[in-house]
Amino acid sequence: MRMSKIYGEPLTLDQIIELALAEDIGTGDCTSLSTVPAHTMGRARLLVKEAGVLSGMEVAAKVFHRVDPNIIMHQQLKDGDHIKPGDIAFTVEGHSVSLLQAERLALNFMQLMSGIATYTAQYVEALNGLGTKVIDTRKTTPLLRALEKLAVVHGGGANHRKGLYDMILIKDNHVDFAGGIRQAIEGANAYIKDNALSLPIEIEVRNATELEQVLAVGGVTRIMLDNFSPDDLKLAVDRIDRRFETEASGGITLKTIRNFAETGVDYISVGALTHQIKSIDLSLKAF
């Protein structure tokens, strides 16, 4: 039985928030503690300053509650809502020092997540009327993957694998190190059997020759067609003929994605959803 080194369970949302608060607050918010009387109460509202798609409401609520369980949050919008300048996403009320301590982290998360949701929604809109789904990749900010993938869903996209542990994805380097496509697929299936796992297997192919090798072996759930042109992708999708799920990847942009989707491919993975985005401008203002 072959087992790799175990590093531990993936970070939960609560753990991400805990680490982020430790990074920001450290031993204490010196500015707020030194300038604002301890028992002062306050209110603030989340002001939208840019059009987009909202994401991160649940995360912000957890941030405020973690800083001070007595903070009350009134949500006026929800994740996935289309937003415009002047909209109020939520209001919060509680001890002023607590609001100030939570402010920056809540904003940082929401601005990043709303940027991802907004960009994802543009890709989803480009595929309107087609059956192809836009999915993300592992090209995420270290330690923030759970948040960024959640934002993709809020934008109307879907998630690919969460990490290296919940899917077997055989890429070109795996094939080369394994000694070939057959060896890689057979090794993956043996690993699943030996370790009593239930995991989908996906394999990347770079050309028609590799596709034929995969079709001859079988034993996979999905075939990733990497850097195929739309014409070649159409030929490959037709050749696979629904025997396996299909995924297109490699340099597909907002301008070109519909051409690829019109081939009938099931999924298109876009790394840019999480690593080439602009945060949405939001602001927390006292009132």
Q: Which of 66, 133, 138, 171 is catalytic?
A: 171
Query: What percent helix, strand, coil does the chain show, rounded to 5?
Result: 45, 20, 40
Q: Please say whether the beta carbons of 248 and 268 come within 8 A.
A: yes
Q: Which of 204, 210, 247, 266 is catalytic?
A: 204
Q: How far is CA 214 from the centre of its chain?
A: 29
Annotated catalytic residue 171: yes
pTM of the model: 0.95
Annotated catalytic residue 139: yes
Q: Which of 104, 138, 206, 234 is catalytic?
A: 104
Full set of structural domains in the chain with CATH: 13-122+278-286 (3.90.1170.20), 125-275 (3.20.20.70)
Annotated catalytic residue 104: yes
Q: Which of 45, 49, 66, 139 is catalytic?
A: 139
pLDDT by 10s per residue, the chain, length 287: 455 576 888 899 999 999 999 999 999 999 999 999 999 999 999 999 999 999 999 999 999 999 999 999 999 999 999 999 999 999 999 999 999 999 999 999 999 999 999 999 999 999 999 999 999 999 999 999 999 999 999 999 999 999 999 999 999 999 999 999 999 999 999 999 999 999 999 999 999 999 999 999 999 999 999 999 999 999 999 999 999 999 999 999 999 999 999 999 999 999 999 998 899 999 999 99
- Smallest Cα–Cα separation from 119: which of 152, 159, 147, 150? 152
pLDDT at residue 7, as a whole number: 80
Q: Which of 226, 247, 258, 266 is catalytic?
A: 226
Task: Count Cβ neighbours within 10 Å for each residue of 113-137 and write b for 16 or more, e otherwise.
Answer: bbbbbbbbbbbbebbeeeebbbbbb
Annotated catalytic residue 262: no
